[in-house]
Amino acid sequence: MSRAALPLAVLSIAAFLAAPASAQLDHAPKVEARLVAEQSEIAPGKTVTVALVEDIRPGWHTYWVNPGEAGEPTEIQWTLPAGWSAGPIHWPYPKRIPTGPLMDYGYEGAPWLLVDITAPATAPGQMVTLKADANWLVCKDVCIPEQATLTLPLSVSASPQAPYATVAEQFAAARAKLPTPSPWPIVFHANGPLDLFIASPQLGSSQLHDASFFPLEQGDIVGMAEQKFAPAQGGLVLRLASGHGAASLKTLAGVIVLTSADGSVQALDVKATPGAVPTASFASADNSDIGLVWALLFALVGGLILNLMPCVLPILAMKALSVASKAGADKREAAHEGLAYGAGAVLSFAALGMAVIVLRASGTAVGWGFQLQEPAAVGAFALLIFAVGLNLSGVFELAGGIIAGDALARKGGALGAFFTGVLAVAVAAPCTAPFMAAALGFALTQSAVSALAIFVALGVGFAAPFVAIGLSPALLRLLPKPGAWMLHFKQLLAFPMYGAAAWLVWVLAQEAGPQGLVLALAGMLALAFGAWAWDSSRNAGVRWRAVGAIAALLALIGALSTLVFLEQTQPVAAAQAMTREGIPSEAYSEARLSELRAQHWPVFVDATAAWCITCLVNEKVALSSAPVRAAFAQKHVALLIADWTRRDAAITSLLSAHGRSGVPLYLYFAPDAPDAKVLPQVLTPDTVLDALTGTKIE
């Protein structure tokens, strides 16, 4: 599935369910396709232009070479006589077609897609048949893949006849819609918005009705954002919303379509380079909040999905148990605890957002999950999760804590719920859910207020399910009644906590090596002893309670002191910390990437971290699968691993350049491609194979 396929599929399913039954049962083709040759005869060794004409039903559209934020371009597979050859499709300029929350680039009406067919110099004078298998995606309220097998007879003649006048006019009109190289220099500058400057005094003084830019690569700009244009000294400036962190773009390729007041259109091929852009005064209409609105929505949905990520489930199971303890109890108390949990989650996301904003403002290159790049922070989380496990196992009890049972029925329940929300956000940091990447990537390019609003929206989405349960008596009644089963379930929940703690210790081993592993285990041992000493002496005499308290305090000090030593450990080399089973790899560097691309190698960049659960799942499910390993070998794809386990400014810059604030990020650079193809955050073998070879697993 391509990067654009997921939003396309979601829109298609929703539209299908909403569409009238008559529309769903309409199986007639939405596109009638045919082949038209510019000449009916061709001389040996010469070239004839053939058009694939798509007669599209009104209201429907097909797609340009870059379909935009969803869709697939038309493809043609030719079957030709021996020695004949077909060139690439010459694409006419497209139009912007809004589809729900996405922007498509495509065609309506009857576009002509031109292809040059060349006969061999030794072609005998006879009739030949050209065969084309054409595939396209056509969309309206729903998207339908269609295909047709088309044939075209053609005569080979030493003295071919001239084309018919009507056919020549049709091809002239089709060629008039092909972009031409810009006669003027074009540069761009990205600092917030992305400004394109066309150095043409005529354009600066002309009366343009519209100017639109269509990038060749998905993600270079925000498709749905408004495109503004204004005259400037010496030319015209087109203002776009950058989609890739902008500053790292070396070239910007695409098509600019200029529409004059008289309706005439000029389409220019663009290969812009960074340069100085003069100041331009744009229209006062301000739609700058469109990007923010969608970012807030994506953050809200991403927060909801984050509840399903494996790193969060153990904590949420604890919260579910505490909510279940309220079934049939005081509804007001349940509502208070739900709101307290929500407050803890939202404030924690806001605190993380403020930390990221402040650190980035101070010049420190950080992103989502930055706290887990520090061994001391990972060690602290490991001790905290381990302590929760001990608590659930009954090794020690804290009145008013976050455990389930009678303590939650007392006054400390809301406080416990608040810290459960804090803890849930803490362990959610290694995860990035779908929709989160776009929202957080956008947040880090905005003002502090807008960025903080996006982090808060993420927290609201994350907290919403349990807040809703706490506020809804109907949902509470669906939960099982409190009983003896809760004690056993509480003890069972200790084991996911121990598993999470073990995983964090493994992360420490990746960051700090064997020394970090020993320190983490020593800290856990001291913490377990302190918990046992505290609890076992609580019901003893005064003297033994004092001894137990002192022993527990010393053990806690010992456990916390390991965090100081963890921060002093030496980082593990990236090449040692991260490997891929069966695929030779190298550590990422910008210089190495540039070197491989200059040598025309295909390159796959895997930006990952040991603490990133999504990354580890993708590695096992997709990157380590036999078909993917075989494809890497067959295509001679160089694998560069950008290990972000510990802070690395070069990798943070790579993430920012592609609109991301955290890992995972997967980039595929095809040989000689102007930019990378960005793969989805959740990988399957199909998505990787589709990127590398265009072939999916059967």
- Cα 607 from Cα 665, distance rounded (Å): 5
- Cα 545 from Cα 508, distance rounded (Å): 35
Q: Within 13 Å and on the Cβ side, how many CA atoms surround 135?
A: 6
The radius of gyration of the chain from alpha carbons, rounded to an integer in Å, stands at 31
Task: Encode pLDDT of 362-371 as tens digits.
Answer: 544 455 555 6
Indicate whether 413 pLDDT > 70: no
* Positions of E strands within 539-580: none
The one-letter amino acid at 374: E
Backbone angles phi, psi at 659, to 5 degrees: 70, 30
- Cα 73 from Cα 68, distance rounded (Å): 10
Better-predicted residue by pLDDT, 464 or 491? 464
The residue whose two tokens read 């080979």 is: 156
- Cα 502 from Cα 500, distance rounded (Å): 5
Average pLDDT score over residue span 483-496: 72
Average pLDDT score over residue span 538-567: 82
Q: Taking the CB of residue 480, how many other CB atoms lie within 10 A of it? A: 12
Residues 6 or more apart whose CB falls under 8 angstroms from that of 375 comprise 508, 511, 512, 516, 566, 567, 569, 646
pLDDT band at 272 (very low <50, low <70, confident <90, very high): very high
- Residue 277 and residue 195 in contact, taking contact as beta carbons nearer than 8 Å: yes
Task: Encode pLDDT of 366-407 as tens digits.
Answer: 555 556 667 777 788 788 778 878 877 888 765 434 333 333
**Structural domains in the chain, sorted by start:** 5-177 (2.60.40.10), 181-280 (2.60.40), 290-493 (no CATH), 575-692 (3.40.30.10)
SS3 for 102?
Answer: strand
- Partners of 228 in beta bridges: 239
- Residue 657 and residue 244 in contact, taking contact as beta carbons nearer than 8 Å: yes
pLDDT of residue 538: 75
Indicate whether 268 pLDDT > 70: yes
Indicate whether 696 pLDDT > 50: no
Task: Encode pLDDT of 322-359 as tens digits.
Answer: 666 655 556 677 778 888 888 988 998 888 778 777 76
The residue whose two tokens read 């609201």 is: 460
Mean pLDDT of the chain: 79
- Partners of 115 in beta bridges: 50, 89
Better-predicted residue by pLDDT, 243 or 620? 620
Better-predicted residue by pLDDT, 461 or 540? 461
- Partners of 213 in beta bridges: 256
Indicate whether 555 pLDDT > 90: no
Closest listed residue to residue 501, CA positions, set 524, 522, 518, 519: 524
The one-letter amino acid at 328: G
Size of the chain in residues: 698
Indicate whether 123 pLDDT > 80: yes
Better-predicted residue by pLDDT, 430 or 238? 238
Indicate whether 581 pLDDT > 50: yes
Task: Out of 439-448, 452-461, 527-536, pick the least confident.
Answer: 439-448
For the chain, first and last CA: distance in Å?
13
* Both tokens assigned to 172: 């002239």
Task: Out of 572-586, 615-629, 679-693, pick the least confident.
Answer: 572-586
SS3 for 406?
Answer: helix
* Both tokens assigned to 639: 């694998």
pTM beyond 0.85: the answer is no
Task: Encode pLDDT of 639-671 as tens digits.
Answer: 999 888 777 777 877 876 676 767 888 999 888
Task: Out of 38-47, 240-249, 288-297, 574-583, pick the least confident.
Answer: 574-583
Residues 6 or more apart whose CB falls under 8 angstroms from that of 650 comprise 588, 589, 590
SS3 for 8?
Answer: helix
Give Cα 294 to chain centroid, integer Å. 14
Indicate whether 132 pLDDT > 60: yes
pLDDT of residue 547: 84
